[in-house]
Amino acid sequence: MRIAVYSSKGSAGKTPISANIALDKGFCIGTNEAFHVYDNLIDENKLISISTEEAFPKEIAEHDIDIVFDLAGSISKSAVSISSALEMSDWVIVPIYNELKSLIGGINTINQIKEYNKNIIVVATKLQKQKSDMIKDNWKQSEDFINIQNQVQNSLGQDIKILPLKYSKVFDNIFEEKKSISQIMDNNALASYNYREVSRQFDEIYKLIGI
């Protein structure tokens, strides 16, 4: 299984989402970022780090390696790392949060990705409770989620799949504790209580992807 996590817009959560999936499922990480955070997080033999202009090796697909590609930068003729990863992936996850630049950047990114891969999932990230929200555990009814959903579906059609991922401090703990969210919750009652919702939301993403 190969999963690309990509948006040309930064700070949407590509790296924390990629890291959580890789640690949870024991997947490798592929990155095209020169200054990445994975050296301390992922075993050397599970990390493929290349430059933007390089292609990810064909062997990844030929040997059906389980990998998450955390892709930075914009799609262009010279950014072969991005196009090669998009082409060989089973799924492309595009994180978008409820902020104008992220929405525009995310929607433009999806239009570009479509030329390489049609299996696109939007993850509506960094969802926060707004004053008007009466939500308990249904983040699909939150103002942040509904706005992202409306904007994305109005621009790209109703068929595109969108899943919620709430804002949480636990995403920073992944790198401090070198554990996935569910691993952080193991044997820790308070963490287990605090992060139950974001962990459930990841399970929903895993179910959709089939991992």
Ligand X SMILES: Nc1ncnc2c1ncn2[C@@H]1O[C@H](COP(=O)(O)OP(=O)(O)OP(=O)(O)O)[C@@H](O)[C@H]1O
**Residues that bind ligand X in the complex, under the rule CB under 6 A:** 10-17, 72, 125-126, 165-168, 171-172
Measured CA distances, 174 to 18, 59, 113, 155, 179 (Å): 11, 29, 28, 33, 5
Is residue 144 within 8 Å of 127, Cβ to Cβ? yes
| Structural contact between residues 127 and 99, judged by C-beta atoms closer than 8 angstroms | no
* Residue 14 within binding range of Mg ion, rule CB under 5 A: yes
Question: Shortest Cβ distance from residue 174 to Mg ion (Å)?
Answer: 12
CB of 19 to ligand X, least distance (A): 9
Contacted by 10, from Mg ion, ligand X, none: CB < 5 to 8 Å by type: ligand X
| 88 versus 93: smaller Cβ distance to ligand X | 93
**Closer residue to ligand X in complex, CB, 15/180:** 15
Q: Is 15 in the site for Mg ion (CB under 5 A)?
A: yes
The answer to whether 92 and 137 have CB atoms below 8 angstroms apart is no
| Residue 9 engages Mg ion in binding (rule: CB under 5 A) | no
**Nearer residue to ligand X within complex by CB, 88 or 164:** 164
Residue 57 amino acid letter: P
| Cβ nearer to Mg ion, comparing 15 with 32 | 15
* Residue 8: contacted member of Mg ion, ligand X, none (CB under 5 to 8 Å, by partner type): none
Which of 59, 193 has the CB closer to ligand X?
193
- Cβ atoms < 10 Å from Cβ of 188: 12
With CB atoms as reference, the residue minimizing the distance to ligand X is 13
Report in angstroms the alpha-carbon separations of 5 from 135, 141, 191.
Answer: 28, 24, 26
Pairing label, strands 91-97, 47-49: unpaired
Residue closest to Mg ion, measured at CB: 15
How do beta strands 67-71 and 28-31 pair? parallel
Question: In angstroms, what is the minimal distance from the CB of 201 to ligand X?
Answer: 8
State the binding partner of 126 from Mg ion, ligand X, none, CB within 5 to 8 A by kind: ligand X
Residue 120 tokens read as 């696109």
Kindly list the distances between the CA atom of residue 87 and the CA atoms of 4, 61, 116, in Å, as whole numbers in the listed order: 9, 10, 5
Place of tokens 């599970």: 46
Contact partner at residue 2 from ligand X, Mg ion, none, CB < 5 to 8 Å by partner kind? none
Q: Compute the least distance from the CB of residue 20 to Mg ion, in Å.
A: 13
